[in-house]
Amino acid sequence: MIDGGAAKHSDLIFTYLRDTLGVTHIDYIVSTHPHKDHVGGLSGALKAATVGTIFSPVWEYDAKPFNSFLKYVNEYENTLIIPSAGDSYPLGGAIFQFLTPLRDDYEEVNDLSLVIRLVYGNTSFLFMGDAELSAEADLIMAGYTNRFDLSSTLLKIGHHGGDTSTSLALLQAVQPRYAVLTVDGDKDNGLPSLLTMERLNTADVDVFRTDVHGHIICYSDGETLWFVTQKNAQ
C-alpha cells in the first residue's frame, strides 16, 4: 500500500480494506513523504490489518498526522525503514524498486518523496509521490545513465497534477501509456494544472482522474492493463 490520503480518509481505508477486500495482512506500507494529505489516512490501514514492513523517507516530522502514523507503527512494534535508491523487494509475482531518494538536501519536502517502480510481467508502474522538478531531474539523469529503467506502462502522476511536476522530460523518459491522477475536485486549488494536462496530451497519455472517474481500480495480468472506474468520464 502506497500512501493513504488525509486523516479524514482513515475510516474509508479501514472499511475498504477490512470489509470490501477482506484484507487482514499488508506486506508493505509506504509513506512516500510526511505531508498530511498522504500519511494521514495510513492509520486506517494500520488499524485494519497487520503489516510486515513500513517505509518512509524520514523517521520524524513535526506534524500531527505523521506523529499519529508513528503512534500506530510503534503500537505494532514495527520499525520504519528508510530505503536507499536501488533497494528492491518481492511482492507476489511482482517486484518493486525504490528509485529515490537520490539526494538528502532538497529544499522541498515533496522532493524527498519515495518514488517506486513496480514490474509485473510485461507491465510496469511508476509511483511518483509528490516529487517535483528537482527530484524529477535527478531521476531522469539516473535513467539516462542507465542506473534505473524508468519506462512504465502506467504513471501515477506526481503532486496531484501540479505544474511543478510531470515535466515533458519525465514523460519522454517514462513513455507511459496510461496515467492516474488523484485530485479532490476542488477547482479553486488549481489542480490539476492546465500545463500538466497539456503535457500529458502532447505525450498522448490516457489519463484517469479521481475528480472525473471517481474511484479507479487498475488490473494487470502481466500483459495488459484494464481499468474499472466508479463513474464514466463526462
- Among residues 56, 82, 108, which one ends one of the domains? 82
pLDDT top residue among 137 and 183: 137
> Are residues 121 and 55 both part of a single domain?
no
Last residue of a domain, one of 82, 103, 128: 82
Task: Give the DSSP letter of residue 107.
Answer: S
Is residue 13 within 8 Å of 45, Cβ to Cβ? yes
Specify the CATH number for the domain of residue 127. 3.60.15.10
Domain count of the fold of the chain:
2
Q: Are 195 and 94 within one domain? A: yes
The answer on 184 and 201 residing in a single domain is: yes
Read off the pLDDT of residues 198-226 as tens digits, 9 standing for 90 and up. Answer: 999 999 999 999 999 999 999 999 999 99
| Co-location of 120 and 62 in the same domain | no
Last residue of a domain, one of 82, 102, 124: 82
175 and 210, same structural domain? yes
pTM: 0.95
Does 98 share its domain with 172? yes
Residues spanned by the domain of 216? 85-234
Beta bridge partners of 88: 97
Q: Are residues 96 and 181 in the same domain?
A: yes
Give strand pairing partners of 127: 116, 156
- pLDDT value for 188: 56
The C-alpha atoms of residue 91 and residue 62 are separated, in whole angstroms, by 32
- Residue 111 shares a structural domain with residue 1: no
- Segment 6-56, tens digit of pLDDT: 999 999 999 999 999 999 999 999 999 999 999 999 999 999 999 999 999
Q: Are residues 69 and 30 in the same domain?
A: yes
Check: CB of residue 119 under 8 Å from CB of residue 150.
Answer: no
Give the ranges where 76-150 is alpha helix by DSSP (H).
133-144
What is the reported pLDDT for 79?
79
> How high is the pLDDT of residue 187?
57
CA 32, CA 187: separation in Å to the nearest integer? 25
Cell of 34: 510526511
Say yes or no: 61 and 98 in one domain: no
Q: Are residues 112 and 99 in the same domain?
A: yes
Give residues with Cβ within 8 angstroms of 209, minimum separation 6: 161, 180, 181, 183, 192
Q: Determine what percent of the chain falls in helix, strand and coil, rounding each to the nearest 5.
A: 35, 25, 40
151 and 53 fall within a common domain: no
